[in-house]
Structure 1
Amino acid sequence: MRKILLAMIVMGALFSCKKEKPFTIFMIGDSTMAIKRAEVFPETGWGMVLPNYFDSLVVVDNHAVNGRSSKSFIGEGRWQVVLDSLKSGDFVFIQFGHNDQKVKSPDRYTEPYGEYTSNLVKYVKESRQKGAVPILFTSIVRRKFDVDGKLVDTHGEYPQAMKKVAEELTVPVVDLQKLTHSMVEALGTEESKELYLWTDPDDQFPEGRKDDTHLCTEGAEKVARLAVIELAKINQKLAEHIINKEE
């Protein structure tokens, strides 16, 4: 009887050791990813809805903030806060580019193949030093069409600079620039407004909003879905915890 009891204890211990531990996805980036205040609804960062696509073992900790670039996120100490929290087995989702273009804002502006690149390298290497897995995300497109109904690129060399970092450091990259470009251009000039922050006049915004950079709730959902479909392809651990994914 004692041997049976001992065997049951050992088996229970082995089972508990195999039980998978929760892990955290830390998100760092700009306003298109960030959590929004209730008063600006329906403005929604795609990081706000990302938790809907993962099971209960995944914690999404969204540190993205409006207006931040790869430079200012470090300069304000925000990256250090994330770095101090990282544990082995966590993930870091990195999306910058929109605000790195701000030439007239020296606290944010970076050259694509200069400081922008070195900042991305810093994020990647320091994440790995903590045992976390970095994943890069190119910026989502702005809704800007030319007279022929073709979507105009507004990000210049930043997406390519990020992909070069991904190649040189063997980092997974989700090309949201390419994915959202295809989606927005396919919808066309009018229907694509449903993804962005186009709202009717109300008490808070008497003139309404015609914002071709930031997403509404529907747009955030669709961008998040594009992201998780790609994540399922590039990382097995994440793939095992993705739910509600629609091809």
Structure 2
Amino acid sequence: MKKLRILIYAAIMVFVLSAFKRDGVVTIFMIGDSTMANKSLKNGNLERGWGMALPCYFDDGIRVDNHAVNGRSSKSFIDEGRWQKVVEKIKPGDYVFIQFGHNDEKPKPDRHTEPGSTFDENLRKFVRETRDKGGIPVLFNCVVRRNFMKEPPKNDDDEALRNTTGMTKGQKPEDEGDILVDTHGDYRIAPMNVAKEMGVAFVDANKITHDLEQGLGREDSKKLHMWFYPGEEPSVPKGRQDNTHYNVYGAHVVARLLADAVTKEVPALKRHLLNYDISVASNGVGDYFSVQEAVDKAPEGKKTTIQLFPGEWEKPNIPEGKKVKFILRDGAKWKE
């Protein structure tokens, strides 16, 4: 009987390994909300989810398929059929990065779940059904909001942390202090509990981003977010004070931190981890859209590695004093 079990297990492993990407590529599926989601580039939009930037931090052996959508909770993601579409695509050896909480907190009945109850059960569903397809689930708790308010808003509502009217540059809001205040409560604890209960890899994105934003402080943490004074950014001429969503810079800072963190929890991903200084891509996943802009932004006198995503790229003019090295990913080449 023991030999039979060993043979059955061996047969299963052969099947899994043979199915484990005949093209040699593993897919990371991402499910979550606006803090993770891909964003439109219309009208020069600078908002990015950290999942949109994630491809910059893994090599061509990893394919990132980001299904995160603005405004979704674990409940609405399931109810709208979005999760089922992901399940149908999972192959043995694929990963599913799961991060909800921001919208589960909201009182709207089509989104709301309770930590320790319905929220946890939805997370368990994602884990079970990923494993049923031979996939590998990874649970993340939600990233922090930039909330230095002395009195947190009721319902931990994103909209209450925004003020699109803008402020005069240099003005200090009287309602802000120097300590980052949590707005997620038990929603940041639930994924940790489910991960422990089900033996799932867990990334404490809440602590990582808390330490990041608190370390930067009240003013410098604005640089991570869609936080602009009137006239500061052409794409939002009236200004925007959004303490939840990331700009290009913020998404890349967070994606780099979380990519590093997940490879510590999932060692099999470590060999795919990249840490180039600047990324250039035509689809908005990079830091810049053109090689020349990337070169112009590279610091003088410091070695800077610039990776180019698929496409034909104009060769840049490299000023004296710039020490740049280019890495061309699969499908990238210089224009003749």
TM-score higher than 0.5:
yes
1:83-139 per-position Cα deviation (integer Å, ceiling 9, x unaligned)? 000000000000000000111x10100001111000000000000000000001111
Q: Moved runs in structure 1, 4+ residues, more than 3 A? A: 200-206
Q: Match of 1:240, SS?
A: helix
**2:317 aligns to what?**
none
Question: Structure 2: any 5+ residue segments left out of the alignment?
Answer: 1-19, 151-175, 278-336
2:70 to 66, 85, 97: 66
**Contact 2:45–2:235 (CA under 8 A) maintained in structure 1:** no
Residue 215 of structure 1: CA displacement? 0.4
Q: Match of 1:100, SS?
A: coil
**1:175 aligns to what?**
204
2:269 is the alignment partner of 1:238 = yes
Residue 204 of structure 1: CA displacement? 5.6
**Contact 1:228–1:245 (CA under 8 A) maintained in structure 2:** no
Q: Match of 1:237, SS?
A: helix
In structure 2, what is the Cα distance between the partners aligned to 1:185 and 1:204?
27
In structure 2, what is the Cα distance between the partners aligned to 1:204 and 1:190?
21
In structure 2, what is the Cα distance between the partners aligned to 1:49 and 1:175?
19
**Contact 2:177–2:218 (CA under 8 A) maintained in structure 1:** no
**2:96 aligns to what?**
92
Residue 148 of structure 1: CA displacement? 4.0
Residue 245 of structure 1: CA displacement? 6.8
CA gap of 1:243–1:204, structure 2 versus 1, over 3 A, is: closer
How many positions carry a matched residue from both structures?
A: 229
Amino acid at match of 2:198: L
Residue 236 of structure 1: CA displacement? 2.0
**Contact 1:91–1:132 (CA under 8 A) maintained in structure 2:** yes
In structure 1, what is the Cα distance between the partners aligned to 2:264 and 2:276?
12
In structure 2, what is the Cα distance between the partners aligned to 1:47 and 1:86?
18
**1:25 aligns to what?**
28
**1:158 aligns to what?**
187
Amino acid at match of 1:110: T
In structure 2, what is the Cα distance between the partners aligned to 1:64 and 1:235?
21
**Contact 1:49–1:220 (CA under 8 A) maintained in structure 2:** yes
In structure 1, what is the Cα distance between the partners aligned to 2:133 and 2:177?
49
Question: Structure 1: any 5+ residue segments left out of the alignment?
Answer: 1-16
Amino acid at match of 1:131: G
Q: Match of 2:104, SS?
A: helix
In structure 2, what is the Cα distance between the partners aligned to 1:20 and 1:228?
23
In structure 2, what is the Cα distance between the partners aligned to 1:207 and 1:148?
25
**1:120 aligns to what?**
123
Q: Report the aligned-residue RMSD.
A: 1.9
2:228 to 179, 199, 207: 199
CA gap of 1:201–1:148, structure 2 versus 1, over 3 A, is: closer
Amino acid at match of 2:241: K
CA gap of 1:154–1:245, structure 2 versus 1, over 3 A, is: farther
In structure 2, what is the Cα distance between the partners aligned to 1:25 and 1:162?
19
1:111 to 109, 114, 121: 114
Amino acid at match of 1:87: K
1:44-79 per-position Cα deviation (integer Å, ceiling 9, x unaligned)? 100011001111111000000000000000000000
Deviates more, 1:79-88 or 1:48-57: 48-57
Task: Compare relative contact order (CA 8 Å, sep 6+) and give the higher one, 1 or 2.
Answer: 1
**2:158 aligns to what?**
none
1:182-233 per-position Cα deviation (integer Å, ceiling 9, x unaligned)? 1101111000000011124467644211000000111111111111111121
Deviates more, 1:162-171 or 1:223-232: 223-232
**2:244 aligns to what?**
213
**Contact 2:90–2:135 (CA under 8 A) maintained in structure 1:** yes
In structure 2, what is the Cα distance between the partners aligned to 1:238 and 1:75?
31
**1:80 aligns to what?**
84
**1:142 aligns to what?**
145
Amino acid at match of 1:212: N
In structure 1, what is the Cα distance between the partners aligned to 2:265 and 2:207?
16
